[in-house]
Amino acid sequence: MTLAVLAMYPFAHLSDAYDELWAAIAARVDDAPERLDRDVEVHASWLRDDLLLGQTCGWPLVTRLADRVAVIGAFDHAVGFAADGTYRSVLVASRAVAVDQWRADPQYMVAVNDLESLSGWVSMCWAWGGPPPNCLVTGSHVESMRAVAQGRANIASIDAVTYEFEAEAEPETVSHLQVVGHGPVVPSLPLVTSIEHAHRVAELRDAVRGAVADPAAAAALARLRIRGFVPLDLSDYEPLRSMDHLLHD
């Protein structure tokens, strides 16, 4: 048995679209599971030997998963500040005040989804010029956006795709946010397979590429803001390590 998990954007209104995407991929892969697994916690899935197709974050990929998974590639998302399998995080704030002005405010609070997040933490450190001392760890990008909208925090760095999906799911929340900047250009979230299945990378790339080009999946792909697939290797993500110094005082 093999495992498939696509849970980095767990929006309820998109679950059926992910099911359709997976059906198109699975039809092109021998021994693929019939359904996406929504019971396995996404971080735990990255360490499973039976993972056939999953999605992770670029930072844990280069810091602790490099010998556990093989990189397949990334979706090319049709959202603002994304192109050719790369994207920039969206910096959102409670007021239209630039990052350097927030940094000078002794009362500021930064909302961050996770201290292992490329889009939420590393990108914020890049924009801030180092790790901001006053942080509220929220557990998710959506909660970070809510924290800023509700006044519990002042600024956050949000994955560009999550920002668009949250605008659909909770337009009232997003209406209270001001876009005040962007993170660095980085590769989009990597699609991966267990190192046990590394010999199947070419097969999986063909399957994802075929699914993304399948007219029958076009409606689901449009809802998921996926306009293409870009094959990538671990070497395409390794330059991210150059930002490690930003995470330390």
CATH number of the domain enclosing 45: 3.40.190.180
Looking at residue 125, its pLDDT comes to 98
Looking at residue 151, its pLDDT comes to 97
Compute the average pLDDT of residues 49-67.
Answer: 98
Q: Write out the two tokens for 32.
A: 């693929």
User: Taking 80 as the threshold, does the pLDDT of residue 185 lie above it?
Assistant: yes
Is residue 191 assigned to a domain? yes
User: Taking 80 as the threshold, does the pLDDT of residue 111 lie above it?
Assistant: yes
User: Taking 90 as the threshold, does the pLDDT of residue 244 lie above it?
Assistant: yes
Is residue 246 assigned to a domain? no
Is residue 247 assigned to a domain? no
Looking at residue 249, its pLDDT comes to 77
Full domain range(s) for residue 103? 89-182
Residue 50: name the closest of 68, 25, 24 by CA: 68
State the total domains in the chain. Answer: 2
- Same domain (yes/no): 121, 70: no
- Same domain (yes/no): 169, 150: yes
- Same domain (yes/no): 139, 154: yes
- Same domain (yes/no): 67, 104: no
- Strands, sheet with 135-137, edge to edge from the N-terminal-most edge strand: 135-137, 110-112, 155-158, 90-93, 178-182
- Identify whether the C-beta of residue 37 lies closer than 8 Å to the C-beta of residue 18: no
Looking at residue 149, its pLDDT comes to 98
CATH number at 93 reads 3.40.190.10
Opening angle at CA 17, ends 12 and 21, nearest 5: 135
Domain stop point among 157, 182, 207: 182
- Same domain (yes/no): 177, 203: no
Give residue 22's pLDDT band: very low, low, confident or very high (50, 70, 90): very high
Looking at residue 46, its pLDDT comes to 98
DSSP 235: H
As a whole number, the mean pLDDT across the chain is 97
Query: 196-227 pLDDT, tens per residue?
Result: 999 999 999 999 999 999 999 999 999 999 99
